[in-house]
A = this chain, B = another copy of it.
Amino acid sequence: MTRHGPELAEFEKLSDQVKITEEALRADGFGENPFYHCLVAELLPAPGEPQGPCVVVGYGLYYFIYSTWKGRNVYLEDIYVKPEYRGQGIGSKIIKKVAEVALERGCSQLRLAVLDWNERAMNLYKALGARDLTEAEGWHSFRFEGEAMRELAGSEAIPWASRSLASPHPTPPPAQALLRELSPLTTASLKEERLGVTKPEVGKEQN
Give every chain B residue within 8 A of A167 (Cβ-Cβ).
Answer: 84-88
Contact residue among B158, B168, B183 (Cβ-Cβ distance under 8 Å from A29): B183
Give every chain B residue within 8 A of A135 (Cβ-Cβ).
Answer: 140
Q: Are the C-beta atoms of B24 and A71 separated by less than 8 Å? A: yes
Give every chain B residue within 8 A of A141 (Cβ-Cβ).
Answer: 111-113, 132-134, 139, 141
Any chain B CB within 8 A of the CB of A146?
yes
CB-CB under 8 A for A92 and B158, given A40-B182, A78-B68, A169-B84: yes
Complex CA gap A168/B27 in Å reads 37
Could you say how many copies of this chain the assembly holds?
2
Give every chain B residue within 8 A of A77 (Cβ-Cβ).
Answer: 65-68
Give every chain B residue within 8 A of A8 (Cβ-Cβ).
Answer: 68
Q: Are the C-beta atoms of B44 and A175 separated by less than 8 Å? A: yes
Q: Are the C-beta atoms of A133 and B139 separated by less than 8 Å? A: no
CB-CB under 8 A for A193 and B146, given A82-B207, A86-B167, A139-B141: no
Any chain B CB within 8 A of the CB of A51?
no
Question: Per-residue CB proximity of A106-136 to B under 8 Å, as 1/0?
Answer: 0011111111110010111101111111110
Complex CA gap A95/B165 in Å reads 15
